[in-house]
Amino acid sequence: MLLVVDAGNTNIVFAVHDGTAWRGTWRISTNDQRTADEYAMWLLALLERQGLDPSRVHRAIIGTVVPAALYHLRLLCRQWLEIEPLIANLSLDWGYPLRVDTPAEVGVDRRLNGLAAQVMFGGPLVVVDFGTATTFDVVDADGAYCGGAIAPGVNLSLEALHQAAARLPRISVGRPSAAIGKSTTVAMRSGLFWGYVGLVEGIVSRIALEMDTSLKVIATGGLAPLFSEGTELFAHVVPELTLEGLRLLAARNHESPASLASNACDAIQDSNT
């Protein structure tokens, strides 16, 4: 089985794939001070609860936008599962070119979304990821990653609004019953929900104009199902697209020279830490 670890700014997602289907998916809040032992106690208990034998996990891949979390996640794999994980970075074979000015600056989550979307649906397309940031990632007809746009995430905007305006309450994200709010809470919910629907539709429209083509629009992230209720823009809603990208990347680099060299380099860096 393959263990997939997607470490984002808000949550770390662990998932297990048996070669045919996902057998379990679990989330824990991101904390770069959490140790490998803490991860292990939590993960092993969840595997057991799901009826999965940890000894059957023979491969692992980690994708992270939180560098400080990587050390202990790698240690989890080495010490508790006795496997050397792949690390999703540019040294691996991604199977498509990055047509951007500075490839190293493109977040791994964005590259993974592009990989999974182009394999699953084919380009040209744009992936809208409702995460800590709301990101837009463009893949052209040839399958190349072409860049995109980054906006503040929904929850980040909500928290900023609450913090900056003393009399505005902290609210949950949800689809409002009306665009015109008759109370402060409903007015805030309307501004947030329909404001982000408008943001997404507007940016995708501009991207399509620049690409001079129609685009398949894929939504991902935990809030993707909610925001898909407010627009007919999305051709597909795949909340766990990043996990699928990690699975595809692991399959593409399984025991390849590039992946082995990458992990040997990582091991040397760890020994010098």
Binding residues for substrate: 107-110, 184
Q: What is the DSSP string of 99-168?
A: -SS-GGGS-HHHHHHHHHHHHHH-SSEEEEEESSEEEEEEE-TTS-EEEEEEEE-HHHHHHHHHHH-TTS
Distances 100 to 130, 146, 160, 225, 245 between C-alpha atoms, Å: 22, 6, 31, 30, 19
Q: Verify whether residue 37 is a known catalytic residue.
A: no
Q: Can you tell me whether residue 84 is helix, strand or coil?
A: coil
* Rounded-to-integer distance, Cα 187 and Cα 180, Å: 7
Q: Which residue positions form the known binding site for K(+)?
A: 129
By DSSP bridging, strand 86-87 and strand 125-130 are unpaired
Amino acid at 187: A
Give ∠ CA 54-266-64 in degrees, rounded to 5: 65
Q: Which residue positions form the known binding site for ATP?
A: 6-13, 132
Tokens of 100: 């951007």
From the candidates 37, 109, 140, 270, which is the catalytic residue? 109
**Catalytic residue list:** 109
